[in-house]
Structure 1
Amino acid sequence: MKKIISNLAISIFVLLGVGFGLSGCYETHYYHQYNHHTRGWYEHRHRTPPANVNFEVDIETRRHRH
């Protein structure tokens, strides 16, 4: 029983670590591809986005044009 609880605890920590690690993947990919963060990033930090940033761009359409 002790081993089962230990394995369960380890599994939970691993899953939490994976979830935490993957939570920022989209933002990082978007930033590197378009050189700016998403609209929510700027709103959360009360910052204005850089000049000439268009948040209305359809990411899927741009990705398939190249």
Structure 2
Amino acid sequence: MIASGVAALAGNIALAGAGFDLIGAVTALAAGAIPAMIPEASEPANEYAGLITVIGFLATFAPPRSAGG
């Protein structure tokens, strides 16, 4: 719990002047990591589940940004 607080403080300081694009990318990456924390032992792609989830969240974030939206 202390490590989470320290990490949150460090992130807040490090991203204090960051733009909306960077904040959005970090948020998308974090949102993709949350479901990856739930182990799915019965799935054959278990070791790649986290990576696949993060790529999926980033893929849904990228098209509107690249289209100038």
TM-score if structure 2 supplies the norm length? 0.31
Q: Going by fraction, where is helix more abundant, 1 or 2?
A: 2
TM-score if structure 1 supplies the norm length? 0.32
Structure with larger Rg: 1
Using CA pairs under 8 Å that are at least 6 residues apart, name the structure with larger relative contact order, 1 or 2: 2
